[in-house]
Structure 1
Amino acid sequence: MRRWRSERVVGRPDPKVNEHHLQASALPADGRLRLLSFNIQVGISTERYQHYLTRSWQHLLPHTGRANNLQKIGNLLNDFDLVALQEVDGGSMRSGYVNQVEHLAHLGAFPYWYQQLNRNLGRFAQHSNGVLSRLCPTALEDHPLPGPAGRGAILVRFGEGADALVVVMMHLALGARTRTMQLAYIRDMISDYKHQVLMGDMNTHAVDLLEHSPLRDLGLLAPQVEATFPSWRPQRCLDHILLSPTLTLERVAVLAQPISDHLPVAVEIRLPDSLRKDSLPVPGNPAGPLA
């Protein structure tokens, strides 16, 4: 069974168990939550289109630069409370048998982490999503998404009932038809909750998500307008953190960190009083990379 563990241990998945209940959540007492979404391309740096060809071998074999890239990413994570990772390797030959989700959790000092294995190619590749958290959620759900195998979403919930905060991390398909099916599935996942955050590599622009997809009636906001791909000359806004109108946006930024072929997206939000009333103080540095 895969589950959150304070000792940062993740085991193998149990297909019969989809939801893991955890201890009571402890949202920050000041009501501020800092979120980051980053497609890390399994630690490969890409600086021009030709690198997709000349560095393609790095998707199959280990290389010395990967550790340095992961260290840079780990340094970036230090000032965030909740991180969504896409294109992470779960511990295969190409990553030197390092579970990159676990490794980044250690580098960023996150007490909770979770790896979602979406495409298992044995020792050659462990295609995964990941989530890192300084806060213990009430529940976690692992969802394979509709369409061809290999895409998934992770739902974490803070609190109980309709007034809980629900956060869904995802990596959506490239094709519009499959992506529409996946967004319809995600819309059903979150429809009973008032406070919603969707974050990840969504492979399409905000206008498509908010006006032409199954999400269009949720009233979600897309505060980030800067392009995220390709990282060396951003032209397309594919990575998003979408918010329900019940959550107050404080800051948003696309971080100038061309470590992967995508740039990371960061937001700071302020939670409504209803989510803060039973919260516990969570230590942290009040200043961060969004400053």
Structure 2
Amino acid sequence: MKILITGANGLLGQKLVKLLLDKGEDELIATARGVNRLPFPEADYTYDQMDITDRDQVLRVIETYQPEVIVHTAAMTNVDQCELEKEACWDQNVNAVNYLIEASTRNNCFLLHLSTDFIFDGEEGPYDEKAKPNPVSYYGESKLAAEKLLQNSTIQYAIARTVLVYGIAHDMSRSNIILWVKKSLEEGKEIKVVDDQLRSPTLAEDLAMGCYLIAKKKAPGVFNICGKDLLNPYEMAIKTASFFHLDTSTMQRADASSFTQTAKRPPRTGLLIEKARTVLGYEPHSFDEGIAVVAEQIKA
């Protein structure tokens, strides 16, 4: 099968590329805006630059490679940045999906789109795939709008909704809760960690595997692809500190109202994964197991 990935330089993109290269079963086209930053110089894959906000470029690249499956990981995911830069957010999260739908229509591609728990208001989580969306941020609005574009299209598609992705990738500038807690406590910094927001933290390798299972089966519809645990960030921080044997005396629990953030966050999300388990055979790591995976990668 020929698979094209957007956003290949990002965290999920890198994990997907590695997974597909390790499997060695598929012809892989990795795309991203800018130069190739993937740490696989000798591997058997093709890299091409593709800016998802450039319609002509999207249509040209998809036409050139004719993939059977497109896995669309590229997006603007910084929630506060989306609130401040709405035009750029819409361009990357909605218009880009329109271009990919057009390209998929022309070239008969199966399009797998990554979405988020932030399409929900967080009042009644955790949510299954049939729950009614009601976003409370512009980021959530943009991701829901993209889902609707797919649902109203005539192409073959799947939507993989995920939650709070963590992991380590090559040349990454963004941190995650494990790295942040570990570094802060090692340096003796005083930190506040939210205890009134619930999430299903997702190891990047698990999300990549979920995307792989959907792509190989061309399984249509919506799938929740996330971790199996429902935790608040303070619980995640305690687990991280415990794993690395760190002193937690400088760590305080706090509620979300004590933080000043541009965009509103849904209080209680989390996603139920029974459908992914049944249809795809998806089985993610626990958060404790995920910390161990990240710890091994830190050593490496």
TM-score w.r.t. structure 2 length? 0.32
Give the structure with higher Rg (CA): 2
- Whose relative contact order is higher, 1 or 2, with alpha carbons under 8 Å and at least 6 apart? 1
Q: 1 or 2, which has the higher strand percentage? A: 1
